[in-house]
Structure 1
Amino acid sequence: MDFAGAYSPENLKFLMEGLGMTLYVAFFAIIFSFVIGCFAGVIRYMKIPVVSQVLAVVVEILRNLPLLLIIFFVQFAVPQISFFGIQFKFTIPVGAIIALTLFEAAMISEIVRAGLNSIPKGQVEAARSSGLGTVQTLWHIVLPQGLRRMVPPLVSQFISLLKDTSLAVIVALAELMHNAQIIMGQNHNYPIPILLLVAMIYFVVNYTLSLISRRLETRTA
């Protein structure tokens, strides 16, 4: 094991560049998947005819496919499909964001739907009987309470998303694990020091998210 060589300034800088790409992809995938997942979850909760059923099918398909397959499909299959004569070709980071967004949005939509369904029906009926419409009841009664219950599973899902960015190494996304592999290939004494450092980096980032989750739970309790 060569800790001094593995932790040279050049290698550490290269790892930080990979971490930057990991956080970049995770940030946008979290934002987009949260917005899309919330929208899909609310639509399914409201049981809008046809739309809810179509969304249910799409969500179940995405949830039951391996994320790696979705990454491959977005990166290699979609560019070969022509939509009205238009072909979509993505850069590797954009393709990774799209794939992660699709997969995580399906997961988040289920979290949102379950959180909204956890609100007692009596409260919904009381709101409706007091003159509030469906949307008003959802906005003022159901969503505020449901969001508080969603915080822990949502943060857990975001942590999983951040870790799942490492799967994009298969399409050569220059994220943390990709750069770590390149460094480990330089010297057979580097793998253990580099893997220990990468594990620590993932732990610090994900543990920080867990602490934020606990703080949010405390504030909304």
Structure 2
Amino acid sequence: MDFIGAYTADHLIFLLKGFLITLEVAIISIILSFLIGGAIGILRYAKIPVLSQVLMLVVETIRNLPLLLIIFFTYFALPEIGIKLEIKTAAIAALTIFEAAMLSEIVRSGLLSIEKGQIEAARSSGLTYMQTLQYIVLPQALRRMVPPIVSQFISLLKDTSLAVIIALPELMHNAQIINGQSINYTIPTFLLIALLYFLVNFTLSLLAKQLETAQTDKKAKSKTSVYTPQNLQA
């Protein structure tokens, strides 16, 4: 093991550049997958005829495919039908598609977790379906969805390493280039990238646990509460 040779300034800068690309791809994919997955989850919850069934088929298909296959498809197969994506764009597209399917189920499950009694009470009090969804269902469901959504984001960050297969210059890709210079760099390099992944993911894990604890405490305090049009502003 050669820690001194592996941790030269040039190598560290090279790894950090890869890590920045990892974070960039992860952040963009997180935002896009949250927006798309949230919309799909809400549409499936609404049970719109035909559309809900089509979305269910799409989501279940994607969820049961390996992410690596989706990455291969976006980068190698799409050009065959005239859609050529840059490496970074292909990675973001693949991660977004896969994570959106996962997040849509989290959103739909969160919406379904709201007690029907509250929904019926809101509707009988004169609220429309959309008002009930906006003021009664979504605010409570979002709080319940935060911990699993954060956990899914942690998985997404780790999944960015799979983009090494299409030569995305992210952290793992750059680490492999450094390792190719000397076998003595392998352990020091992988220890460093493991530390970088750990620091980010552990921070997100702590955040998820704190949010889950806060949600549990809030749920216990409001266990007997009933949401009505009169307390929407509370």
TM-score (norm 2): 0.90
For 2:98 and 2:166, the matched residues in 1 are separated by 17
| Match status 1:146 vs 2:152 | no
Matched, 1:44 2:30: no
| Residue of structure 2 equivalent to 1:25 | 25
Q: Aligned residues, how many?
A: 216
Of 128, 136, 140, the residue aligned with 2:123 is: 128
Distance in 2 (CA, whole Å) between partners of 1:42 and 1:135 is: 11
Q: How many Å apart are 1:216 and its aligned residue?
A: 3.8
Q: What letter matches 2:96 in structure 1? A: T
Instruction: Name the residue aligned to 2:193.
Output: 198
Residue 89 of structure 1 is matched in structure 2 by: 84
Matches of 2:64 and 2:213, distance apart in 1: 33
How many Å apart are 1:96 and its aligned residue?
Answer: 0.3
Q: Which runs of 4+ in 1 moved over 3 A?
A: 214-221
Whole-Å separation in 2 of the counterparts to 1:149 and 1:137 = 17
AA paired with 1:60?
Answer: E
Distance in 1 separating the partners of 2:148 and 2:46: 21
Q: Which residue in the other structure is 1:66 paired with?
A: 66
1:161 corresponds to 2:147: no
The CA deviation at 1:88 is 1.8
Aligned-residue offset at 1:213: 2.7
User: Quick one: distance in 1 between partners of 2:201 and 2:178?
Assistant: 23
The answer to whether residue 167 in structure 2 is matched with residue 177 in structure 1 is no
The secondary structure found in structure 2 opposite 1:49 is: coil
Of residues 204, 208, 212 in structure 1, which corresponds to 2:203?
208
**Secondary structure at the counterpart of residue 116 of structure 1:** helix
* Equivalent residue, structure 2, for 1:84: none
SS of residue in 2 equivalent to 1:131:
coil
Amino acid at match of 2:97: L
Structure-2 separation of matches of 1:209 and 1:156: 8
Query: Aligned-pair RMSD on alpha carbons?
Result: 1.1
Equivalent residue in structure 2 for 1:100, among 88, 95, 104: 95
| Residue 113 of structure 2, aligned match among 104, 112, 118 | 118
Query: Identity, % of aligned pairs?
Result: 66
In structure 2, list runs of 5 or more residues that go unmatched.
Answer: 219-234
Structure 2 distance, partners of 1:113, 1:137, is 16
Cα distance in 2 for residues equivalent to 1:185 and 1:141: 57
Runs (5+) with no aligned partner, structure 1: 82-86
1:219 deviates by 5.5
Question: Separation in 2 of the partners of 1:143 and 1:218?
Answer: 20
Distance 2:130 2:176 in 1: 51
Residues 159-206 of structure 1 deviation map (CA, whole Å, 9 limit, x = unaligned): 000000000000000000000010011111011111111110000011
Distance 1:192 1:137 in 2: 56
Question: Alpha-carbon deviations, 1:52-78, whole Å to 9, x = none?
Answer: 100000000000000000000000111
